[in-house]
Every structure is written in structure tokens, then in C-alpha cells.
Structure 1
Amino acid sequence: MTINDSPTDLHSAVDAALSDLAEGERVWAATSLTARAELLGRVRELTGQHAEEWVDAAVSYKRLDPQAPLVGEEWISGPYAMAAGAGSLEHSLLSLAEGRSPLENAHFGVANGRTTVRVLPTSVFDSLLLSGFSAEVWLQPGIGRDEAIRAAGLAQLDPTRTHGIGVVLGAGNITSIAPLDVLYELIAHNRVVALKLNPITNLLLEPLTKVLEPLIAIGAVRILTGGADVGEYLVQHPAVAHVHMTGSAATHDLIVWGHGEDAAARKASGQPRLEKPITSELGGVSPTIVLPGHWSKADLRFQADHIATQRLHNGGYNCVAAQAVVISSEWDQKDDFLRELRAAYEAAPIRSAYYPGSDDRVAAAESTYPDAEHFGGRLLLPGLRGDRSETLLHTEYFAPVLGVVELPGLGADFARAAATTANDEFAGTLGVNVIAHPATIQKLGAAFDILIEQLRYGTIAINAWTGAGFLTAGATWGAYPGHTLDDVQSGIGVVHNALLIDRPERTVVRGPFRPAPRSVLHGEWSLTPKPPWFVSNRTAATTGRRLAAFAAAPGWDKLPAIFASALRG
């Protein structure tokens, strides 16, 4: 639903959408779990049918070359993620409809005193397509296996008890964020949903309307466009019970507290202007911790490419893009590593700065760090220590800016220092990456386990990028628990979580240190070549298209073509 500029049209269109949803809530409450699963299955299928239109819209507003391998990012982080998420939620609802918990057949474990649930791999397909990758959700302390099984399902344990109308304020960067958030509101919280698109993504209105049509048809979803005035009227509307947003902490605080002296007074008194609950995913300054070890030239080259991807994927406009690489100043391969990082940063494809304000944020970083190294509009800030790193660690640039922060120490001493810096100095708690040679992990032993346990982040990726956690449907996605409205950091609550796990603490993702075939030659059980989300992957567009088609309609017959494309990447 497109809203015109006049306040009268604005209000009437929002009112009409919310009126539709009020009726739709009654329909949704009367919809059985089996029927809900069928609706999600239809959404999954429609994602595949309209995937090309979806990707074309993203390519257009992000100003990508339609023939470039970078288009693979749009296939994977758009239709693939959506189809995989819808399919996993569909499976959870079918389990509940049969009287079974979504976790009934899950693999449970224990890590640092917490119960864990494996969310990758969960099928033979997972094991083949993401060979060597794994992910587990750590539950909050004190929650055991039996309680986790009993509580899994969240609001769908009582599907007839709905919870009003939820508003989703969509993101402007990754195109699956908004529709996946819609599904989470609808399923995990049993709320019908008004999705307000970010104006940057208005070209997605048509494909998303087609994809979500089964839910729109029964009145469970409405999609709105428009500017900040529409969002303001929508979130303040008395018919709305809950708000979920993706964006910056500044935008969150504007919604919750207002601006200027009034906002300060409200914060001081603990009386927010938004008089309803809000959850959020707000990004932050994500670190990549590199543990010193003995790396081959091929290791240095691959991991430099890996880190360049962590920063430059989607042009750097990711809430979990790595912004600071934390390395040891005493690592005897530090200079070799930095040389490869510069080369990877320089070799990464140049792309348009499509996200509003990007050039200004790059200029601000350059003003703070005048000795920054330039690579086609991208900045690399090496050799930062002590006070020089403060601005980098406290400011989410949301732009192609990457700093290298050096800390003293080796071995367990460096690991402890890196964890303390990541926890205490970095803004936000959404995601942290840890890169370590397998021999280093083995040598550290318990000290490595302590490092992972001490990191207070919603997603921790070991020899992987936290973006892989975003793509894992069963993983939780969101900040580390404990933030509050007046100190929101990376947000409150989680999304994705297709197994509908109650009271998660974090997701831990693990990947291979080396790509195949080197991984196999060095004893790592992984057949995954260079992942298709790497910015340097030459066949990412073809692989991404084939992965999206597979997620929309899984089948053994699709695997050979996916493998063939992936191996050429």
C-alpha cells in the first residue's frame, strides 16, 4: 500500500490497514497450526517464483551491475534467506500440529554450563551444502533440555491466543530482514503485522506483496510505504500493540524517547514517549579477533579475503559488518597479515555507495584518522593502539571503513585482553568473529573455551562470519540479552529462531579455517570451497540463484548444479 504525501491520505491509509489487521487477527486466531504451516509453505514457494523480480529490485536500488558476481549477495541474503526461514518455521508448525516439540529430535549438548541446541546442520542437505559449518544456540543459564523441549514453540503453544497488531519497521540494507521479521512477529509472537518498508527499499513493495500474498489475503499482513511521518503515526497509533525495528540506536531512541531536552527529561524520569513494548536489532561496532598462530601464505591470503568480506559485503552496509580487526602487536606474522589484508581490500570489487549518508560517514572517519589508507572510496586504518582506537570502537560508521587495533600479548594473555576489549570498549553486542588456526585452538585448550564464554555477543562466529548465523534459519539473531530502553546498545530481543526456542542467550557458529580442498588435506572435515558470500567469489551470482531455488523447493536433483557452481567460485 503506497501512501501519498498529504496528512489526510497518510492517516486514512494507515487507519485502513490497521482496520484490516484487526479483522485479520480474528481470522488468524481461528487458523489451525496445520493451515498456518500450509500458508508458510506457500510463502516459501512464492519466494522462489518471484525471486528474480525481488533480486532485480535490489540490484536496481543498490546500483549493482546486473551481470556482476556481487548479485549473488542479493540472491543469498534475500530470497534464499527468506525461503529457508519460511521453510524452517513451516516445519516447526507441523511438529506442533502433531503434538510434538520443534526440539523433540534436536541434538543437545553442554557448553560452559549452558545447555546448547544444534541448529546447523539439522539435515543431510545442511551437511552437504554447508560442509564443515555448524551452529548451536546456547540457552540462558539454568535452562535444561527438558525445559527447552517443553517451552519450544513460544506463542504457537497457544495459537488461538493472539497478541494484537505488531508493527515492523523494515531495514534498508539486507532485503530479507523485513519479511523475516514479519514472519517472526506472526509466528513467535502470534501477532498480525503491519510492515512499514524503509523508503530506500520501496522497489521491493511489488515482489514482497506477491511473496506474502497468502498472509495478506487473510488479513494477517499489510505492507505500507512512506517516510518518517508514516512510521511515527503508525507506531503511536492506539491500535498497535507492539513495535519491532531494525536500524540504528539513534533511531530507536528517537522513537522511544523523542529528541532534544524533552528526550533527556523523559530518560531521566524513565517515562518513554512510546507507551508500548518495542524490540529491536540495532547493529553496533563488530570486532574480528585474530588469534596469533603459525599460518601458511595460503592461510594468510584466505583469511584476509575473509575479513575483507566481513567489512565489504553489501558495500559495508551491514549491521554486523566487521569494523575493527583486533590483532596482537607481538604476532611475528602481523606484517604479513596486514600486507594480505591490504591486497584483499584493494582487490575487492568497487561498488556504488547506495546507502544514504555513506560518503559523510567515510569523510568523518577520514577526518578523525587523516593517515587512513584509501582504496577506491574505502578506508583502511591500520596500526591503531590505545586512545587512537576510541572513536573507531565507539562509532558505527555503517560504511566501508575498517580499522586494525593492536593489543599486546600472545596466547592466552592476548585472548583475555581481546575479550576484555571486545566486551568493554566496543559499542554494541550483536556479533563478534574469532579467527584462529586449529592448532592455536588446540594449544589454548580451556583458555579458548573461556574466551568464547566470556564474549558477550548475540552471535559469535569461530572461523566464520557472523553473517552465516544470519543465514541459518534456526539460529537466533539479535543482541546479547540484558539491554534496556535507556541503554539499548544492539537492541532487545531476537528474531529468526525458526525452532522457536525460548530464552536463548547466544548463537555460536563454527566454520573451517581453510576452504576445500586445503581443508581436507590438513585434516579438517569440510568440503566447502570459498563460500559464495565472499566478495571475491567469481560464481556467487550463479551459486546464489541456485541456492535460492533449492531453499524454495528442496530436492536432490538441484545439488549437482549447486556444487558445480560453488567449486568454480
Structure 2
Amino acid sequence: MTSTATTIDAAIEALTEGAVRWAATPLAERGLLLRQVHDLTARHAQDWVDIAVDIKGLPKDSPLVGEEWVSGPYPVITGTGALIESLAALDAGRSPLDGFEITAAPGDRSAVHVLPHGIFDRLLLNGFTAEVWTKPGIGAETVRARAGSGARTPARDSGVAVVLGAGNIFSIPPLDLLYQLIADNRVVALKLNPITDPLLPVFERIFAPLIERGFLRILTGGAEVGTALVNHPDVTSVHMTGSSNTHDAIVFGPGAEGARRRAANTPLLAKPITSELGGVSPTIVLPGQWSEADLRFQAEHLATQRLHNNGYNCVASQVAIVSADWPQKEKFLAELRAAFDRAPERPAYYPGSENRVANARKEYPRAQRVGPNNDRTLVLGISPSKDEPALREEYFSPVFGVTELPGTGPEFLRAAVDVSNEEFVGTLGVNIIAHPKTLRQLGAALDKAIADLRYGTVAINAWTGVGYLTARASWGAFPGHTLDDVQSGIGVVHNALLIDDPERTVVRGPFRPAPRSITRGEFTLAPKPPWFVTNRTAATTGRLLAYFSAAPGWSKLPAIFASALRG
């Protein structure tokens, strides 16, 4: 049932009272509430996935159901578990970063090593690592001392936050509301995207401990409900996930008058707003000498970066940057098209998808129609210029482009970094794919490239989506955006270690899956990841991983490994 003015007022009134109680709730008790949410997420995970599959129109026996396990209950289970540990550390007078390695990173930054954390991470995500880099000039001791965010001053009443939930990845609203509660010390009015309304009963059961105490209210409805919530006089802050157009309408108002206000930087919204807004994400493919198996696997990797959730991801790769001088370029592009063709078909469930695909094909008449039903679009020969629609419009659909730059080695990488920084709209995530030998040859040039890329997550031989799934990593745009030029947003979420000054997350993964990685000298045990759209056992592996994360145990590992290796 759509929320009304009466229910909105009642919700905010209850939350205003709840904010006082939240400020009086000790850290240990907050941890117990999170433990209940953690356990309830596992208990209702199957119901969550069943409803998600219905929303997205997926066949119940499709391997793609694994996406709903891995991007639904799984990150909420791991996220609450990590937050519980951080609160326990603070309650004991320790830093949440105690026990985590912190090393120097390029540009006078500090790098907090957040993945792997513990033996199970080392086994289940073997070959994958993640670091959170701080802003320049912040040393390790300062990072440890500042960690905790709002949980360091839990008695402070920070008021009521409105969270405008996303409609594409169903763990986004839960993770966003948890961050407001723990990191920002605010109670939450969560407004669901209408796409996710069928999940309301499940979310109400999962978050019942917070709802019953007056720390959370979940509301439904369209833009009019969101507008009423955002502008309610007793709401103190706003967080949203969506498009920059929606952000600007909230902050400056709609239409021509809103555009004038944005140009003059005179916001209508008189309260702070944080946001995660997506953008156009590039993938830099560094030339090297690849085997036929490498070409095929990395083509599937790139197709996954676009086709996961049918392209309805804020961090879906949209344009690959390849070397025009790479001798294997044509072979790779042929494998890329084949990967787009053989990925399983799926419905275009997200509103406006067909129109966005049609617009892309109109902008690029020579685009190739690919996929089982020719409903995917591959655009070759894109100019590396911000005037190109593919570099400035987030298509949010199964449309993928390729642009070429001259050169090889460090000069190609340098040019690709410059194009990524200067020509692409948005700063949420960037991927780099390269043969291990190429990475070794680049040496310090690679470190400099990672430091120079102005993106909130940088992934090397991994998809930036791994950063989203890593509970202790920060997630958000590169810092420094302003209300009138918001790009991919302002602020971070997830960040379960409550790191005070995160600048970016850096993810690394294996170039080849096991067992081929072992025979080729990488010595990593990770098979084809379960988030690959071509993974045949993703549904089973995703379900097993979610339940394992809820209650880890050695006896559960053999089934996970057996399923993963068959993928």
C-alpha cells in the first residue's frame, strides 16, 4: 500500500522519538540488534531470492538465480557480521582496524588490507584481495585512531535520515540503511523503489528488531512520497541511490527552473545529502600475449561486467579501452562478441531498458545486434571523446562499446588512464585487465596508474563489483564532487570497518581461473567466479555461500568447492 501524508507524518514522528532512544542505546546492544538482523536475513534468504527472481522474470532453474543470492542476502549477511565485529571492538576500547594490516600506498596514502580476512576468505576467495586507500597525508596510526565514524560518539542524536532505495540490486537499500544507523548514527525512513515493493514483507521480517524499537520505518510509493519525505521538516539528512538527474531534481528542483538553480548552485534542499549515482565505467584492456583460453575467459569476464543483472548496475562496465596496435585485438573482439552471444537470455525487467537500447542504436546505426534474441548491442569504433554518447550517457541496459587507443606498454596505459579520467562521465569504478607478465613489466607504472585513476573502486583482473560485495571495503564515488557537479555521488557506504577517510578501494583478482591458473604459474585456487554470467552452477554456489556466511563451518566447504569447480 502506498504511503500517505498521514503515514509519512506518523513514521517521521515515531523516528524522531526513536532517534533519542538510538542515542541512548549502547554499542553492545546495537551489536545484538545487528545479530538479530543477521540471523533473520539468513532465515528469510530463500523467500528474498524467490521474490527477486519473480521481479526479474528469471526462470527458477536458471544459473542466473545465483546473482540474486550473491547480490541479495549474501552481502547483507556479511555486512552485518562485519559491523558487529567493529562495534564489539569499539565497545572494548579498541579500533575496528586492530588486526588489519596497514601499509603505505602511492601518493602518501595508507592502504588498509580488508580482503582476505581470516582463513575462510583465503580459501573461498583465493587469489582475490582488496585494500581501502585513504586520502593522501593520513598515516597508519591516524587511520586506526579515527576508525569508528559515528559509532565513536554513539550518544549523539543525529536525527532522522531518509534513504531512497534503489530498484536494481536488492541489497542496496538494506546496506544503505545499516550504514546510516551505524556509521552516521541516524535512524532511518527507507522509501523503497516501486520495483522492490514485493520485497516489503521480507524486509519487514528481516528488520523487525529495528522497526519494533522505532529505529526504522519502511515506506512505499512513487516520486511524490519520496518528495514528501525528503522535504519533511523533521528529516535531518538524505541518502539516495539512483541517477544524477534524480539527484539534481531533489537538490535543485525539476525542469528549467531547477537547471537554472543548478547553474547558479543555489540548492532548494536545505539539508545534507549523500548519494551513489553510477556513471559510465571503463575497462582498460592492456595488450599482451594471451592464450586462446585467456582470450575466451577474459571476453566472458568483460561480458559479465556488462551483462550481470542485464546491465542494470551502476558500476556495469560500458566501454572497453583496447590497444589499436595489439596483434590479438581482432581475436579478442571476436571472442567478446561470442561471449555476448552465448550468455543466457533474460528479460528486460528494468523500466525504460528497451528505449535506452533503441536510443543507443539510433546514435550508433552500425552497432551490432548480439545475444540469443539480438537484444544486446555491441558498438565498435567509438571515438575516445567526451562528445561520444557512449562515454557520457549511462545506458543502464545491455549496450556495450569499444574504443581504441594507439600504443602498447606504459604509453598505452598512460593514455587509457587520461581518457578514463577526462572523457568518461562518472567516477564510481574502473577495471583493468592484463596478463600477469604485463603487470610485472609495468611495475611502478601500474602503481602510478592506480593512484592516478580518479575512481572510487579500481579493480585489476577483477570486476569492481567485487568491491561492492566486500563488506569491509568502502563503496562510492571518488571524493571531491559537489552538489552542482555530482558525477557519481558524494560520500561512501558499506565500509564496515568504519574507516574515517577512505578515498578508494583497490581490488585485485587472478587473470586465469583454477585449475588453469595453477598450471600457468599464478597458484590461485579460485575457479570461474559465481558472478560470471556464464557460470553453470552459480545458483547453487551462491546459495551455499550465503548460508555459509551466516554460519561458517569447515563441514560446509566441500559442497561449496564442488559446486564452484563445476561452474
TM band (smaller chain):
over 0.9
Q: For 1:223-238, list aligned pairs within 5 A.
A: 223-238=218-233
Larger displacement relative to structure 2 (355-364 or 211-220)? 211-220
> What is the DSSP-based 3-state SS (H/G/I as helix, E as strand, rest coil) of the residue aligned with 1:481?
coil
Structure 1 residue 261, shift from structure 2 partner: 2.8
TM-score (norm 2): 0.98
- The answer to whether the Cα contact below 8 Å between 1:3 and 1:13 also exists between their aligned partners in 2 is no
- Alignment CA distance shift 1:269-1:394 (3 Å): closer
- The answer to whether the Cα contact below 8 Å between 2:240 and 2:276 also exists between their aligned partners in 1 is yes
Aligned equivalents of 2:341, 2:83: Cα separation in 1: 40
Q: Of residues 371, 378, 382 in structure 2, which corresponds to 1:384?
A: 382
Equivalent in the alignment of 1:354: 349
Equivalent in the alignment of 1:194: 189
- The answer to whether the Cα contact below 8 Å between 1:29 and 1:160 also exists between their aligned partners in 2 is yes
- The answer to whether the Cα contact below 8 Å between 2:384 and 2:423 also exists between their aligned partners in 1 is no
Aligned equivalents of 1:250, 1:436: Cα separation in 2: 35
Equivalent in the alignment of 1:513: 511
Equivalent in the alignment of 1:428: 426
Structure 1 residue 214, shift from structure 2 partner: 1.0
- The answer to whether the Cα contact below 8 Å between 2:386 and 2:392 also exists between their aligned partners in 1 is no
Q: Of residues 51, 60, 64 in structure 2, which corresponds to 1:66?
A: 60
Equivalent in the alignment of 2:138: 143
Q: Which amino acid aligns with 2:502?
A: P
Aligned equivalents of 2:387, 2:564: Cα separation in 1: 38
Does 1:83 find its partner at 2:77? Answer: yes
Structure 1 residue 386, shift from structure 2 partner: 4.6
Equivalent in the alignment of 2:2: 3
Equivalent in the alignment of 2:27: 33
For 1:387-435, what per-residue CA distance to the aligned partner results, in whole angstroms no more than 9, with x for missing partners? 5971110110000000010111111110011000000000000000000
> What is the DSSP-based 3-state SS (H/G/I as helix, E as strand, rest coil) of the residue aligned with 1:383?
strand
Q: Of residues 48, 51, 54 in structure 2, which corresponds to 1:57?
A: 51
TM-score (norm 1): 0.98
Q: CA RMSD in A?
A: 1.0
- Alignment CA distance shift 1:549-1:164 (3 Å): same
Larger displacement relative to structure 2 (20-29 or 435-444)? 20-29
Equivalent in the alignment of 1:544: 542
- The answer to whether the Cα contact below 8 Å between 1:479 and 1:493 also exists between their aligned partners in 2 is yes
For 1:343-372, what per-residue CA distance to the aligned partner results, in whole angstroms no more than 9, with x for missing partners? 101000111000000000000000010111
The gaps in structure 1 that reach 5 residues or longer are: 5-9
Larger displacement relative to structure 2 (550-559 or 500-509)? 550-559
For 1:86-109, what per-residue CA distance to the aligned partner results, in whole angstroms no more than 9, with x for missing partners? 110011001111111101111011
Aligned equivalents of 1:261, 1:532: Cα separation in 2: 45
Identity rate of aligned residues, in percent? 62
- The answer to whether the Cα contact below 8 Å between 1:40 and 1:86 also exists between their aligned partners in 2 is yes
Aligned equivalents of 1:265, 1:420: Cα separation in 2: 31
Aligned equivalents of 1:369, 1:387: Cα separation in 2: 15
Q: Of residues 460, 463, 475 in structure 1, which corresponds to 2:461?
A: 463
Q: Of residues 34, 42, 67 in structure 1, which corresponds to 2:36?
A: 42
Aligned equivalents of 2:198, 2:44: Cα separation in 1: 13
Q: Which amino acid aligns with 1:414?
A: F
Structure 1 residue 326, shift from structure 2 partner: 0.3
Structure 1 residue 526, shift from structure 2 partner: 1.2
> What is the DSSP-based 3-state SS (H/G/I as helix, E as strand, rest coil) of the residue aligned with 2:72?
helix
- The answer to whether the Cα contact below 8 Å between 1:389 and 1:405 also exists between their aligned partners in 2 is no
Aligned equivalents of 2:27, 2:446: Cα separation in 1: 43
- The answer to whether the Cα contact below 8 Å between 2:252 and 2:267 also exists between their aligned partners in 1 is yes
Equivalent in the alignment of 1:279: 274
Structure 1 residue 3, shift from structure 2 partner: 2.5
Equivalent in the alignment of 2:170: 175
Structure 1 residue 279, shift from structure 2 partner: 0.2
Q: Which amino acid aligns with 1:3?
A: T
Aligned equivalents of 1:525, 1:124: Cα separation in 2: 17
The gaps in structure 2 that reach 5 residues or longer are: none
Q: Which amino acid aligns with 2:432?
A: V
Equivalent in the alignment of 2:392: 394
Q: Which amino acid aligns with 2:413?
A: A
> What is the DSSP-based 3-state SS (H/G/I as helix, E as strand, rest coil) of the residue aligned with 1:251?
helix
Provide the aligned length of Structure 1 versus Structure 2. Answer: 563
Aligned equivalents of 1:497, 1:387: Cα separation in 2: 34
For 1:482-506, what per-residue CA distance to the aligned partner results, in whole angstroms no more than 9, with x for missing partners? 0000000000000000000001110
- Alignment CA distance shift 1:387-1:221 (3 Å): closer
> What is the DSSP-based 3-state SS (H/G/I as helix, E as strand, rest coil) of the residue aligned with 1:256?
helix
Q: Which amino acid aligns with 2:214?
A: G
- The answer to whether the Cα contact below 8 Å between 1:48 and 1:553 also exists between their aligned partners in 2 is no
Q: For 1:447-462, list aligned pairs within 5 A.
A: 447-462=445-460
- The answer to whether the Cα contact below 8 Å between 1:185 and 1:192 also exists between their aligned partners in 2 is yes
Aligned equivalents of 1:505, 1:472: Cα separation in 2: 16
> What is the DSSP-based 3-state SS (H/G/I as helix, E as strand, rest coil) of the residue aligned with 1:136?
strand
Aligned equivalents of 1:270, 1:432: Cα separation in 2: 29
Larger displacement relative to structure 2 (140-149 or 18-27)? 18-27
Structure 1 residue 382, shift from structure 2 partner: 1.5
Equivalent in the alignment of 1:338: 333
